[in-house]
Structure formats: structure tokens, C-alpha cells
Amino acid sequence: MTAKKLLAGLVALAVLGSGCGVRASGVITGGSAPTGPADGVGLYLVANNRLTPVLRATRGQLTPSETLTLLAGGPDADELAQGMTSAIPADIGIVDVVSDPSGAKVMVSADVTTLSAIAVDQIVCTVSGTTAANVRAPGSGSFTVTLVGAGGRSRGPKSCPV
Amino acid sequence: MSRRRWLTSLRARLLLAFILLCVVTAAGVAGATYVRARDVILQKAQDSAVISLTDKVKTLYPVGGLPPSQAVLEEIAGKLSGRDDNAVVVYEGRKSRGSIDLAEFSPALRQAVADGDVAWQRIVRGSTPGLVIGTQMVFTQPDGTPKAALEIYSVRSLLPEQQSIDDLASSAALVGGAALAFAVLLALLATRSVLRPVRELGRAAHQLGEGDLTTRLTVRGADELAGVARTFNNTAEALENQVGELQRMEADARRFVADVSHELRTPLAAMTVVTDVLDEEAPGLSGDVGRAARLVSQETHNLTRLVNDLIEVTRFDSGAAATALDEVDVAAAVNATLRARGWTDQVETELTPDVRARLDPRRLDIILANLVGNALRHGAPPVSVRLFAEPDWITFEVGDRGPGLDPRVLPHVFDRFYKADTARTRSEGSGLGLAIAWENARLHRDGERQGSLVAGNRPDGGAVFVLRLPRYATNAADLGGPQ
């Protein structure tokens, strides 16, 4: 009789242990989050004195120089509303961007020595982000960008700090 | 006490075992099925909700401008919310408006989502169960690296699933209850089929113990109980045979005694005639011859009495003894007995007058003569005879003031040829007197009432014999009883 009672108790305990109804569970993880294409170009703006990447919706693919021109145009209305600014003067005058797998050279009409450090970083990071996919070989070390401005004065080469 | 006995009875134990077995089985099966079904229901609901959400997220590609404006967050949240679920979209600390508070989600869930997995968790808010699914919306950057654009959480109620599961539980309980009732019914049937032979066996054993040696059981089937019944029958048969054999032997022995007694009668009659002659001549004989003649005469009388007593006893044994009942005045009958033997002066009587009873006067005379004779011979005076009358009984008490009966002798007083005093001279009686008195008392019957003769000692000394007879005895032969 004692063994039977024990058995019944164990069964009851097992039933109670598994509980009735719907109970809270732990975190269950499935596969990776869905991934899809982005329709736009990545630009680096400044928010609270820090480099902040944004995705600017565009139509079609832009060349690196077109992208830099877009960057020089400053934040749009949405970005302004979110407190974004740009340290790049609007009259910097993008001339050309020449890329190879190890780096890129950005030629501008303004004097690059007068640019603030954060403005240089904005340009370096934006160029790195846009160029890398087309030109850069995967795993080919750090991608550097050199700015060449009026009078042949240059900044860099520099790689994106973020 | 009776409650305890019921609990330990075979029937109760069988019933309990059945019920326990059923409860354990039903609980086990129903419980396991319930848990499994619940898990399947929940898993299907969760999986379909997760797939539905990720499918909806995939329709939002390509990703537009980032960081999104609040309006964009609201728009996406609206697209992801449906009838059953409610979504919230988060971008770096900003979230779409809505009733959902991110603090409700566990840190583990948020961490799993931040790590780039689709993750979900069941939560219970109040008594409402719900499912939280979280995922990132990832886009591919121009340089090919993935980057999280938004975090999306969707909260879905699990009330419909809980309803289904509750239905499952109640139907499981219903089926379990039905199974239990069925088990009880089955147990009752099983115990009856098992216990009936046991009960029959008990009854048969009781009958056998009561002396009905012809008792047999019907052997049904070939199980263990049938084996027991067969053994019982064999035992009863062996017992019947042996007892029959013993009875036959005893009857033979009695018949032999009866035959011998009868055979002795004729020569004894002749001898009595001769001794009568010797008695007449004895006074004329002198010396040893005269003594021898008297001795032969005395012993012949004793032998005649012994043979007569033996014949009387064999009549009792063979059941041939019958009462010749008559309506008598009991006190008068007692006086007649005492007078006939010349004991009137030696015996004190205390007789209720005018007591009439229906009994066998000859047998009453034999009993009383024996009791009073014994009292006079072995006891000390005064010997008393007292008579009491009740509506259904008459009681005689024959007592004396002697030393009384030895307690060791008491149980054997009515045994045949039992001699209390081994040194007593053998000429005093046949040794059958009290046995015959006892049989004579028992011969008086009135339905359930049967006469009895009991020996005992009075507290104030002296032996006392109590004869108790039914007041209106009926003839055994009249009732068709054994002869």
C-alpha cells in the first residue's frame, strides 16, 4: 500500500509540476533576424558631436563623388529634426574620388587644412562605406582615405574611426 | 471496529486496488496526453505567429531612410499590427506609440533580439497569457556588412489557445471520471466473482463443522479457487467415510453389547429361579454352604440388574427409548417413589402441591430413585427432595449434607461405569445408574426445551443434583423424530 501511495504521489506531483494551462516560458530563439536590401546610401552626419551614420533614401546607385556631394549638402529636414548637423562646409567643392583596393583619394576644391577633424572623419567614413563594396577586396586590411585640396595640401591618409 | 473490518475485507481491498490502479493510469495517461497536446498547441501557435511576423517584416524591405522619423515608426508598427497582435517598433531608444511598454519584456529577450536572433517568450499578464516575439530588421550596408535598422516586438494574446487547452483538460477529466466509474463497476463484478466461491467455501466449511458431512461444493472452472473447492470436497468425502466407518464400528460394538445382554437374560432368568430356591433353603444350610448360597443369590441379583441396566443403555444408544407420557401430579409421584422404596422416613420433602405435569412417570421414578438412593448411600442425612414449578419447567433438587462431590469427579459423574471412589465395593451398584438417569432426563422434550440433569455442590456443603424437565413434554415419536 505504501509503494502505491508513493507512486500516486509521484504521478500527482509530475502532473502538478508540469502545470495546467498556459504558463510563462523562457526565451526561445529561432533563426537569425530577417535581412534585406537597403534603398539608399550611408552618410555620416554629426549628432551631439559624434559621428552618426544615417541612411539617406535615394533612387538608384550613386557614384562616390555624387555621394560626397550629397553629404556636403548637409542634413535633410528629417535629419535636422532629429538633431543632426554636418561639419563639412557646403562650399567644399567635390572634384573627384579615385579608388583602389587599398584606399581612395578625394579631391576637393577647398583648402582641406581648414577642415575640422570631425568633418574629415565624416568624409573618410562616408567614402569608406560607399566605396568598399565595389572596390575593396574582402579582408584586405584597413581602407584609408586621403583628402587633397587646394594648393595640393592634403589630409590623411586616414581610416574611418567607427 | 466494524468500519476497520470493512476496510480490511477482501472486497474493500480489491476495490481500492482497482480504483487506485484506474486513478493512477487515468491520471498518467490523461496527464501525459494533456501536457503533450498543450505543448503541441502552443508550439504551433508560436511558430505560426513567428513565421507570420517575419513574413510581414520581409515585405517592408527595402529599408528606407535611417534614422526613421517618428511618423515612419508609427507607419511600420501599423503595418505589422493585426487583429490578434500588436507591434511596437524601436529605433535606438525611440519607439512607436502604443500601449506596450518595453520594460515588460525580459532583459534576456531583449538581449537575444539585440544579438540578431528572432526570439520569443510566453508571458502572463494578470491572468492573460501572451506571446512576445522580437526581431531585428537587418539591412545590408553598401560595403556588404549587415546592420540592424529597427527592433520590432509583437505581442499576441494566447487566450484562444488557453481556451482550447482548458477544453482539453476538462474533457480529460471527464474521460478519467468515466474510466473511474467503469473501474469501480468492473471491480465490483470481479470481487463478486472472486468472493462468491470464497463465501460458498466458508458456508460449506461451516456446515461441515456443524456435522453435515455430506456437504459438497460445486467445482466451477479450473482456477485456484476451484482447486480449493476440489480439495474441500475430497477432504469432506474422506471425513465422511472415516466417520461412517467409526459409526459403523460403534454401532457394531453396541449391537454386540445389546446381543450379549439379551443372550444373558435367558440363563439369568433360570439362575434367578435357582437362587430363589437356594434363598428359601439357605436358612437350613449351615456354615460355608449357606454363605455360598447367599453369595450366589446376591451376585445373581446384581448381575440381573447390570444386564437390565445394560439393555436400558443400549436402548438409549440405539434411539429405541421412547417416553410413555402421562399427566401426573408430580408431588404424588415423588411420594409414591419414596414410599415404594421405604425411604419416606429418611428423606425430607419440600414439594409444591398440586403441580401437574406431562411426563413419563416410570422414567421419573427411575431418576428420583437413583438420585435419592445415591444420596442415602454416599451422602449424609438429612437428604432432601424439593420441587419447584415454573410455567414451562418443573425442577427437582435432590441434596444431602455429606462431604459433597470432589471437583475432579464432577465432570464425570454421569459417565458410564465411572467410580468416584475406586475403593468402593463393587456390589453397591451397576455403575450405570446416573448415566441412565441422565439419559432419562434428556429424553423429556418439548420442542426446543429438553430435560437436563446437573450435578453440583451446595455452597454450604453437600452434593446437590438438579433435575429439570419440561412441564409439558411431547412424545418424540409423535413429532416423527428419531426413534
Number of structural domains chain A divides into: 1
Residues B98 and B77: beta-carbon distance below 8 Å: yes
Please report, rounded to a whole number, the percentage of residues in chain A having pLDDT higher than 70: 81
- Is the CB of residue A81 less than 8 Å away from at least one CB of chain B? yes
Closest by CA to A41, choosing from A29, A27, A53, is A53
Whole-number Å distance between alpha carbons of B28 and B415: 73
In a domain, A4, yes or no: no
Confidence class of residue A2 from pLDDT cuts 50, 70 and 90? low
SS3 B145: coil
What is the predicted pLDDT for the residue at B289?
83
Sequence-separated contacts (24+) of B20-24 with Cβ below 8 Å: B20/A4, B20/A8, B21/B183, B22/B179, B22/B180, B22/B182, B22/B183, B22/B184, B23/A8, B23/B176, B23/B180, B24/A4, B24/A7, B24/A8, B24/A11
- Is the CB of residue A12 less than 8 Å away from at least one CB of chain B? yes
Task: Find all residues with CB under 8 Å of B313, minimum gap 6, and list them.
Answer: B416, B432, B435, B436, B439
Confidence class of residue B480 from pLDDT cuts 50, 70 and 90? very low
Cα distances (angstroms) measured from residue A37 to each of B58, B139, B200: 10, 5, 90
Distance, first Cα to last Cα, chain B: 47
What is the predicted pLDDT for the residue at B427?
46
In a domain, A85, yes or no: yes
Q: How far does the CA of residue B121 sit from the closest CA of chain A (Å)?
A: 5
Task: Convert B37-48 to b/e letters by CB count within 10 Å (16 or more is b).
Answer: ebeebbeebbee
Confidence (pTM): 0.54
- Is the CB of residue A32 less than 8 Å away from at least one CB of chain B? yes
Please give the residue that has the higher pLDDT: either A60 or B404. Answer: B404
Closest in B64, B123, B144 to A24, CB measured = B123
What tens digit of pLDDT does each residue of B335-359 get? 998 899 888 888 888 888 888 888 8
Cell of B410: 464432577
Q: How far does the CA of residue A126 sit from the closest CA of chain B (Å)?
A: 11
Q: How far does the CA of residue A151 sit from the closest CA of chain B (Å)?
A: 32
Cell of B321: 427409548
State the residue range of the domain holding A120: 36-158
> Chain B: residue nearest A8 by CA?
B24
In a domain, A16, yes or no: no
What tens digit of pLDDT does each residue of B354-393 get? 888 888 888 989 899 988 888 888 878 788 898 988 888 8
SS3 B71: helix
What tens digit of pLDDT does each residue of A86-119 get? 888 888 888 888 877 778 888 888 888 888 888 8
- Is the CB of residue B144 less than 8 Å away from at least one CB of chain A? yes
Q: Which residues pair with B66 in a beta bridge?
A: A55
C-alpha gyration radius of chain B: 53
In a domain, A88, yes or no: yes
What is the predicted pLDDT for the residue at B482?
42
B72-90: average pLDDT = 87
In a domain, A151, yes or no: yes
- Is the CB of residue A80 less than 8 Å away from at least one CB of chain B? no
What is the predicted pLDDT for the residue at B249?
93
> Burial of B68 by CB count in 10 Å (0-12 exposed, 13-18 middle, 19+ buried)?
buried
What is the predicted pLDDT for the residue at B228?
87
Query: Any idea which residue has 471437583 for its cell?
Result: B407
Residues B170 and B30: beta-carbon distance below 8 Å: no
Give the range among B8-17, B149-158, B454-463 with minimum mean pLDDT: B8-17
CB contact under 8 Å between B31 and A7, yes or no, is: no
What tens digit of pLDDT does each residue of B115-159 get? 888 999 999 888 888 999 999 988 877 666 777 878 899 999 999
In a domain, A2, yes or no: no
B20-35: average pLDDT = 85
Residues B458 and B402: beta-carbon distance below 8 Å: no
Q: For residue B59, what is the DSSP state?
A: T
What tens digit of pLDDT does each residue of B199-238 get? 888 899 999 889 888 888 888 888 888 888 899 999 999 9
Confidence class of residue A14 from pLDDT cuts 50, 70 and 90? low
Relative orientation angle of helices B361-378 and B433-443, to the nearest 10 degrees: 150
Chain A interface test: which of B124, B143, B171 (most A C-beta within 10 Å): B143
Look up the ipTM and state it: 0.71
- Is the CB of residue B24 less than 8 Å away from at least one CB of chain A? yes
CB contact under 8 Å between B143 and A37, yes or no, is: no
- Is the CB of residue B160 less than 8 Å away from at least one CB of chain A? no
The yes-or-no verdict on residue A26 having pLDDT over 90 is no
Whole-number Å distance between alpha carbons of B167 and B106: 30
- Is the CB of residue A55 less than 8 Å away from at least one CB of chain B? yes
CB contact under 8 Å between B143 and A128, yes or no, is: yes
Please give the residue that has the higher pLDDT: either B244 or A1. Answer: B244
- Is the CB of residue B166 less than 8 Å away from at least one CB of chain A? yes
In a domain, A27, yes or no: no
The yes-or-no verdict on residue B424 having pLDDT over 80 is no
